[in-house]
Structure 1
Amino acid sequence: MIISCPHCQTRYRVAFEAIGSAGRKVQCAHCHQAWQQAPLPAAGEAMGDDRLFEAMDEDALDDAMEAEALVAAPASGGFVAPVPGPLPAAPDAAEMKKRQVAYSRRRHAMSSRQPLARVRRAARVVGAVLLAALLCGAYFGRVPLVERYPDLAGLYEAAGLGVNVVGLDFAGLETLRTLSNGRDVLMVSAQIVGRASRPVPVPPVVVSLLDASGRAVYEWSVAPRVRDLMAGERATFDTRLSLPPSEAVRVRLSFAGAGRAGLSDPSVDLPAGPAAMPEAGEPY
C-alpha cells in the first residue's frame, strides 16, 4: 500500500495493518509534519477479490514492515512518535549577558516607580541635607561650641581645625641675649594679635624657659600694656630676665589662665650665652 504526505508529497509503502480500518495519525519522516491518514481499502477489495499478499513476495513484505516501523510506529495515545531532530544551539554568552542587563534595567525602572521606593529616595535626600547642615554648623560655629563644651577642642584638633576660644594669638616672637653690667640678660619680645570680632580682654602673658626635654625650668608672667584687643589690632610687649638658667634651650609664650584649645603656643630656641644661675625675673 502507498500513502503520500499531503505537505511534501513524500510517498511511503505501508501495510494495510499499519493504518487499520479506522485510519490513524502518522508523521512524515522527511518534513516532520503529522496528518490523519484515512483508512486504506484492503488489497482484496481494491482488486475485486480476497487476495491480500499474493502479489507481494517476502522481500516486499519486509520492506513494508520496515517502512511501517519508521513512519507509522504507534505511540501512547494513538500518535506517532516524532522523529528526533538536532538539538538547538546554546545561546551566546554575550547575548545572555545583554538580556540580563536589559531585564535588570526594566526591573529597576519598575521598582523605582513604587511608592516605597519614592519614600526611600526622599528619606535619603532629607538625610543628606541634614548631614550637610550639621557639618556646616559644626564648622562655622566651632568657636561657640568649644566655649560651651571645652571637651570638643580635642576633636577639632584631631581634625586639623584648631579653635581659638581666647580670641588672641602671638606673632613675631624674638629673643636676644646680651651682657648688662657683666651679667647675662635674656630679652624676649612679641606681638599680641586680636582674632575675635568683639573686644577681648588681654590676660597676662606667661614666659616659660624649657630644657631639652621640653620641661619648664623657669617661668614668669608679664602684664600687657593694653586692656583688650579685637580682630586686626596688635599690641607689643617685651620683657627681660637676668642670668637665665643654663639648661634652658627654648622660650615659650602662653596666656595665663587660658586653655590650650586652638592655640599653638609659639616657642623659639634661645641664643647662645654665658651659663649662670638666675637671680630674678623682672618685667620690663
Structure 2
Amino acid sequence: MILVCPACHTRFHIEVGALGTHGRKVRCAKCRQVWHAEPPEDAPRELAETPAGYAPPPPAARRAGAGVLAWFGASLCVAALAYAVVYRDDVVRAWPQSAPLFRTANLTLAIDEAVKVEDVAASRMFESGVSVLVVEGAIVNRSNAAAPAPAVRVVLIGEQGRELATELVTIGAVEISAGDRVPFTARMINPPREASTYRISLEAAPT
C-alpha cells in the first residue's frame, strides 16, 4: 500500500502486513515525521488474533480440566474392561484370540466347559530310524451352539514339572459344530528322552 507523509506529503510504499492488525507508528524517511498509520479496512485480519477482553484460564483451572478429562478416560477404560469381563464369552466368540487373556486372569469361559479334548493316546515309534512321538485325540463340542475351533498344544514334561518341548497343532477348521468331534494328530520328531509325561491344552488358533 502507499503511505503519504502528513507533513511533507512524500509518498512511499509499504507492505500491508507490516502494519499489523491495529496499525503502528511509522517515520517519514525524508522529514522524519512520525505518525500512526492504520491498515486499510479491507486488509486481511490475523486469524489467531485474541478477542478483546479475552483472558486465558488460570493454570489451576487448566489443570482441573485436564484432570476431568483423565478421569473420564479412565472411567471409559474401566467400563470397557467390566463389559469385557461380564460378556467375555461373547468377546471370545467374536475374537477367539482374546481367550488366553481371560484364562491368564483365571476367568472361566463357556468354551472351556463346552469344548473338550477326549480319547487322547500317545505312542513312540521309529520312522526311517528317527524317533517320533505321536499324540492323537479328538476335540469335542458338547454345547448346543457352534464354537470357535481351538488349537491343541502338546507339552512334554520332565522331572520337577520342567517343560522340555512343545508342539502346537491346528485342526484346519474355523469352528466346530454343536455336538461334533474333530480328530487331531501331533507329531514330535526326536522328543527328549527325559520326558516322562505330557500335557494337553486348548488355546485360540493362530490367524
TM-score range, shorter chain: 0.3 to 0.5
Q: Normalised by the size of structure 2, how large is the TM-score? A: 0.45
Q: Which structure is richer in relative contact order (CA contacts within 8 A, separation 6 or more)?
A: 2
* Greater Rg by CA: 1
